[in-house]
Homo-oligomer: A and B are copies of this chain.
Amino acid sequence: MSYQAPVKDMLFCMQELAALEEVARLPGFEDAGIDTAQAVLEECAKFNEGVVAPLNWEGDKQPSSWKDGRVTTTPGFKEAFRGFVEGGWQGLQHSVDFGGQGLPKTIGSACGEMLNSANLSFALCPLLTDGCIEALLTAGSEAQQQTYIPKMISGQWTGTMNLTEPQAGSDLALVRTRAEPQPDGSFKLFGTKIFITYGEHDMAENIVHLVLARVSGAPEGVKGISLFIVPKFLVKADGSLGERNDVHCVSIEHKLGIKASPTAVLQYGDHGGAVGYLVGQENRGLEYMFIMMNAARYAVGVQGIAVAERAYQKAVAYAKDRVQSRPVDGSVRGSAPIIHHPDVRRMLMTMRSHTEGCRAMAIVAAAAYDAAHAHPDAEVRAQNEAFYEFMVPLVKGYSTEMSVEVASLGVQVHGGMGYIEETGAAQYYRDAKILTIYEGTTAIQANDLVGRKTARDGGGTAKAIAAQIARTEAELAARDSVAARAVLKRLTAARTAFEQVVDFIAGQTKASPNAVFAGSVPYLLLAGSLMAGWQLARALLVAETRAAAGDDVAFMNAKVATARFYAEHQLSKLPGLRDSIVEGADSVTALALDAF
Contacts and interface: CB of A to CB of B under 8 A. Distances in A.
B419 A343 contact: no
Contacts of A254: 420-422
B429 A433 contact: yes
Contacts of A415: 169-170, 437, 441
B408 A433 contact: yes
Interface of A: 164, 167-171, 173-174, 195, 253-257, 316, 319-320, 323-325, 328-329, 335, 339-346, 348-349, 352, 404, 408, 411-412, 415-422, 426, 429-430, 433-434, 436-438, 441-443, 446, 486, 513-514, 517-518, 520-522, 554-555, 557-558, 561-562, 564-565, 567-569, 572-577, 579-580, 583-584, 587-596
A520 B341 CA distance: 11
Contacts of A408: 404, 408, 433
A441 B420 contact: no
Given A345-B518, A572-B576, 18 more contacts: A169-B416, A171-B323, A173-B325, A253-B419, A254-B421, A329-B513, A339-B596, A342-B588, A342-B589, A343-B520, A346-B518, A412-B437, A419-B433, A419-B434, A561-B595, A565-B584, A568-B579, A569-B584
A344 B588 CA distance: 9
B429 A256 contact: yes
Nearest to A584: B568
Nearest 4 A-B pairs (CB), nearest first? Answer: A568-B584, A171-B324, A558-B595, A343-B443
User: What's the dominant secondary structure at chain A's contact region?
Assistant: helix
Contacts of A441: 412, 415
Contacts of A167: 323
Contacts of A348: 596
A322 B558 CA distance: 48
A326 to B, nearest CB: 8
Nearest to A555: B595
Contacts of A171: 323-325, 335
B419 A256 contact: yes
A420 B588 contact: no
Contacts of A555: 595
B343 A518 contact: yes
B572 A573 contact: no
A429 B171 CA distance: 25
A253 B170 contact: no
Contacts of A422: 254
A195 B468 CA distance: 53
Contact of A514 (B342, B420, B429, B575): B342
Contact of A341 (B323, B517, B569, B584): B517
Contacts of A513: 328-329
Contacts of A426: 256, 433
A443 B595 contact: no
A306 to B, nearest CB: 18
Contacts of A438: 416
- Of A164, A255, A594, chain B has the most CB atoms within 10 Å of the CB of A255
B352 A596 contact: yes
A344 to B, nearest CB: 7
Contact of A170 (B324, B418, B558, B583): B324
A584 B572 contact: yes
A568 to B, nearest CB: 3
Nearest to A451: B328
A262 to B, nearest CB: 13
Nearest to A414: B437
B557 A328 contact: no
Given A169-B324, A342-B520, A561 B579 contact: no
A164 B256 contact: no
Contact of A419 (B255, B486, B568, B579): B255
Nearest to A418: B437
- Of A429, A562, A587, chain B has the most CB atoms within 10 Å of the CB of A587
A29 to B, nearest CB: 33
Given A408-B433, A575-B576, A514 B595 contact: no
A328 to B, nearest CB: 4
A565 B579 contact: no
A256 B343 contact: no
A341 B443 contact: yes
B596 A320 contact: yes
Given A255-B420, A342-B514, A342-B517, A564 B579 contact: no
A416 B430 contact: no
A308 to B, nearest CB: 15
A258 to B, nearest CB: 9
Contacts of A164: 416
Given A256-B426, A324-B174, A437 B421 contact: no
Given A169-B416, A419-B256, A564 B590 contact: yes
Contacts of A255: 419-421
A434 B420 CA distance: 10
Contacts of A328: 513-514, 517
A186 to B, nearest CB: 30
A138 B518 CA distance: 52
Given A433-B419, A568-B583, A588 B335 contact: no
Contacts of A576: 572-576
